[in-house]
Chain A
Amino acid sequence: MIRLEDAEKWYNRGEFNEVHALKKASLSVAPGEVVCVTGPSGSGKSTLLSLIGCVFPPTSGLVEVGGRKLSRLPDRFLTMHRQKVIGFIFQQFRLLPGQSVLDNIVLPLLPQGIPPAVQKQIAASLMERLSITARKDFPVDKISGGEQQRVAIARALVNNPAIILADEPTAHLDEQLSREFLAIVGELKRDGKTVVITSHDQRVTTDKVVDRVVEIVDGRIGSRDGNGYAH
């Protein structure tokens, strides 16, 4: 599902402020696998997630996501591909303030020309599943953190993508909500979705739903299994 071979990412290459964010990274994630990327901040986690998330192509090396090589893919096609195969869950949920739960969930559907009735149908089943139907018309800034998290998840799932990426999903959640989140990840796993989570939260890295923990330090990838032993 995801394959990186010697992927490199430079920012501002050749300039005074150049950053070598990812060094010869190789990683392969099978369909239905749940992988947790961990590492200190500034280690290249976000860059790795962006590469997998088709936000930008690698500077060199190979990145293949959902059966498609990203190298030299123009912006437009990256966006199209991202829309089809990737669902994002952001660190601070990144919901659009002032808009209703429903509006937030259907946001990715709008430019695809999906009629409102169909949008509603898709959103309704997701809200049902994540039990936020009652909050449908509430503005997102008027609901609890856990509900916001679930709205963010619903939005990530609305295109029915094969890959879900979550960036520090539990950073702002308490014990209870973190557990809920991991339970939802478990469900996604049962549905056959591939999930990549970046986190340095012990609760996530040690949870049994995570198949594999990948450690990234200073732009280089190492790997441990779910029990926390380094290979």
Chain B
Amino acid sequence: MKTFFNRHLNILDYAIGNLWRGRFRSVSILVVFTITVFMVASFSLLSNSLRSAAVQLLETVPEIIVQKLEAGRQVGISIDEIPKLDTIYGISEINPRIWGYYFDEINGANYTVIGDPRFGRDQLIPGLPLEMSSPEKLNPAISPAVVGTSFVQSRRVGQRSNFSLFRPDLSLKSFRIVGSFSDRSSMVTADLLVTTIEDARDLFQIQANQVTDLLVSVANPSEVNVIAGKIDKILAGSRVITRNQIQKTYQVAFGWRSGVGLICMLGAVTAFAILAWDRASSLSPDEAREVALMKMVGWQTSDVMLVRFWESAVLSTISFGLGYMAAWIHVLFFKGALFLPILLGWSVLKPPVVLVPVFRFSDLLLIGSLTIFPYLAATIIPAWRSGTVKPDALV
């Protein structure tokens, strides 16, 4: 047993000595290898952290959302439909709301507008934590609004608390900021404009008693699917979305985007494998003589291959260590600056993203198999070729 370890350690020593003697060559492979690991790992950690943020932040998304479809497209749903659901046992609350997007032509940003029935002209939504709030009696021409940080920045509202948005007929509608969200919550609130349901309806010129969706709260979480099924039957042509589906959709959306990114990265991995192959396969006459000598003095083919294996292993380990660490720092402290745009797409509003990757062993394996395996695969045949050099080349 001790001999076994000593044999490996001796050969490992010899391999490291080899790498050191071929410093220039080793370092060039090391650099490229590290960059490859860094790219793959950054990407994987980035999508990992976005996904885990989604899971963690969206724990409390509505249990059931009901929408109406017409010809496959979403249309408004009438609040007259709500009483029909009264017969379903297990629903604790139904909240209609208006959810829309306001495209600001001045700066090209998309705001998310929410009209909430609990929001009154003189009363904020109960239980909604806000950074700043100044509930006041407003004159009927001005509507109250609670806004997120990106909204404030992009509209350059500054100290003013009044702003106006266009209705579809290009008439202006005035708002006053009566509250704002803390920037600690900007991961979900940055682009929000929350107002009363009547004002949202007015802004978008939606017919009276129409809303975009219904939020259904369920007393017992284990009944969600049953209740969703019942709603689907009662409201013909409706689309019922459960919390579970939303969370899954999120996973898929980021999974897909990171998948596309990883496929782009395959090119880099392949190029790296080719480089590794090229570097390893050129068995120079000097190296051939060295191997012949080693075999002459009693090294087995397997010993020579072990040297090559340890050379690859040492290079892989060091590159992997450096690349993985750099990637983690890149994502954690630099917010994945190099790759975030690929995952996010273009946006005019740039919400402050907080990225905290979660350690998962499967990620480690994925990154390893995308980088180390191609390298080992590219070097194994050259290693075998060098191991099978005949000793009689020397005599």
Let me know if B394 is at the binding interface, CB within 8 A. Answer: yes
Q: Is A41 an interface residue (CB 8 A)?
A: no
Is the beta-carbon distance between B394 and A110 smaller than 8 angstroms? no
Tell me the bound Cα distance from A84 to B300 in angstroms: 13
A108-B298 in contact given A50-B392, A56-B392, A113-B4 (Cβ < 8 Å):
yes
Report if A159-B298 is in contact (Cβ < 8 Å); known contacts: A99-B21, A113-B6.
Answer: yes
Q: Which residues of A contact B300 (CB under 8 A)?
A: 76, 79-80, 111
Is A94 within 8 A of B395, CB to CB? no
Q: Which of B251-266 contact A (CB under 8 A)?
A: none
Interface residue total, chain A, C-beta cutoff 8 A: 33
Q: List 14 A-B contacts (CB under 8 A).
A: A53-B296, A56-B392, A90-B293, A90-B394, A90-B395, A98-B21, A108-B297, A108-B299, A110-B13, A111-B299, A111-B300, A113-B2, A155-B297, A167-B395
Q: Which of A161-198 contact B (CB under 8 A)?
A: 167
What residue in chain B is nearest A119 (Cβ atoms)? B10
Across-interface contacts of B13 in A (CB, < 8 A) = 110, 116
Interface residue ranges of B1-60 to A (CB < 8 Å):
2-7, 10-11, 13-14, 17, 21
Choose one: B4, B7, B10, B391; the contact of A55 (CB below 8 Å). Answer: B391
Q: In the bound complex, what is the Cα–Cα distance between A118 and B295 (angstroms)?
A: 22
A interface with B by C-beta (< 8 Å): 46, 49-50, 53, 55-56, 75-76, 79-80, 82-84, 88, 90, 94, 96, 98-99, 103, 107-116, 155, 159, 167
Residues of chain B whose beta carbon lies under 8 Å from any beta carbon of chain A: 2-7, 10-11, 13-14, 17, 21, 289-290, 293-301, 303, 391-392, 394-395
For residue B248, give the distance in angstroms from its CB to the closest CB of chain A.
Answer: 55
Query: Which residues does chain B contribute within 8 Å of A55, judged by CB atoms?
Result: 296, 391-392, 395
Chain A proximity of B294: nearest CB distance (Å): 7
Residues of chain A contacted by B391 (CB below 8 angstroms): 55, 79
Task: Please determine whether B290 and A96 come into contact, CB atoms closer than 8 angstroms.
Answer: yes
Q: Are A88 and B297 in contact (CB under 8 A)?
A: yes
